[in-house]
Amino acid sequence: MPDSPRKLTDHPDVGEVLVSEEAIAARVAELGAQITADYEGKSLLLIGVLKGAFMFMADLSRAIDMPLEVDFMAVSSYGNSTKSSGVVRIVKDLDLELDGRDVLVVEDILDTGLTLNYLRKNLLNRNPASLEVCAMFIREGRQAPETDLKYVGFEIPPTFVIGYGLDAGERFRNVRAIRAFEGTL
């Protein structure tokens, strides 16, 4: 049996650091403060898009200094690939009603914008009082022009990345920084 790497970050599929753990923590704190100020006096509902946004959603919810509610959706356009299939489907729907609520969708990464545009249309049909999006990462040069985001963490290169909830074939979500993926699926 071959020796396995001692640390996750020593794995041959885990490439260079693109966004450090420290930079992520600082930006999440900034986003939390901005969202707290923007939603002062409102009843905020965060909707986390599973699975990739679960770490960001947990950190962001703790950085927002006001009472809030959370719910989750799972939407897929990737399957087990590094490229979007172009077909979006809801894998897990919300448990809470959106009618008349201030909603903030928490996304891990925006690539083509296909999934986000589908999700926005779906959620707007549920009559929220407001609907905004907070994406931790935007892959530079890839999103559709109609994707207008109020809150953005970082713009990253157009390479496939892992870490901070982002995966490659369901692996490497637990890498603490955003790193290039050097493997194949």
The answer to whether the beta carbons of residues 110 and 138 sit under 8 Å apart is yes
Alpha-carbon Rg for the chain, nearest whole angstrom, is 17
State the catalytic residue, choosing from 13, 59, 108, 111.
111
In the residue annotation, 111 being an active-site residue is answered as: yes
The correct answer on CATH 3.40.50.2020 for the domain covering 21-159 is yes
Alpha helices in the chain (DSSP H): 21-38, 54-63, 114-124
Q: How far is CA 11 from CA 38, 132, 162, 171, 180, in A?
A: 41, 37, 12, 11, 12
pLDDT given for residue 5 in this prediction: 63
Residue owning tokens 């020593």: 10
pLDDT of 143 above 70: no
Supply 120's token pair.
Answer: 């926005």
Residue extents of the structural domains in the chain: 21-159
- CB neighbours (10 Å) of residue 61? 18
pLDDT given for residue 88 in this prediction: 83
pLDDT given for residue 86 in this prediction: 67
Beta bridge partners of 166: 163
The tens digit of pLDDT for each residue in 70-91 reads: 999 998 765 555 555 567 889 9
- CB neighbours (10 Å) of residue 157? 11
Highest mean pLDDT among 29-38, 136-145, 155-164 belongs to 29-38
DSSP 8-state assignment for residue 99: T
Mean pLDDT within 54-67 = 98
Q: How far is CA 58 from CA 14, 44, 53, 116, in A?
A: 24, 15, 8, 20
The tens digit of pLDDT for each residue in 91-132 reads: 999 999 999 999 999 999 998 888 888 899 999 999 999 999
Alpha helices in 39-150 (DSSP H): 54-63, 114-124
Mean pLDDT within 32-38 = 98
pTM greater than the 0.75 cutoff: yes
